[in-house]
Amino acid sequence: MVVKKHVKEIDGVQVTFDFPAKEEQLKKYLEETAKHADCKMTEIAKLMLAMREDGDVDADYELIPRNFERIRRITGYLVGTTDRWNNAKRAELRDRVKHA
């Protein structure tokens, strides 16, 4: 059996579904998915909905990747980069003893 897939963009999220649904229903699925994933709706990139034989709907989603900055503890400070350090602090970093 060939199932026709529908694609609709709702609040900036690409929603793919294989059953007849109104926009309000799809938005509700999107809200519930965001709650379940413990994220905001704007963090979801794609939502894929599929109707099972028993009538329930399976939801699969992809989140938008987040950029993050690595933070390290250097000479007693939590830092991401040392580009804003003065010369004395850079010398302290350069001269520190590194343990294996």
pLDDT in tens, 1-40: 567 899 999 999 999 999 999 999 999 999 999 999 898 8
| Residue range of the domain that includes 94 | 68-100
Q: Is the pLDDT at 66 greater than 70, yes or no?
A: yes
Q: Are residues 15 and 56 in the same domain?
A: yes
CA atoms lying within 13 Å on the CB side of residue 95: 6
Does the residue 1 lie in any domain?
no
Shared domain for 43 and 80, answered yes or no, is no
Q: How many domains is the chain partitioned into structurally? A: 2
Model confidence at 48: pLDDT above 70 = yes
Long-range contacts of 70-79 (CB under 8 A, 24+ apart): none
Nearest CA to 43 out of 13, 16, 70, 69 is that of 13
Q: Examine residue 59 and state whether it is found in any structural domain, yes or no.
A: yes
| Average pLDDT of the chain, as a whole number | 87
Query: Are 73 and 59 within one domain?
Result: no
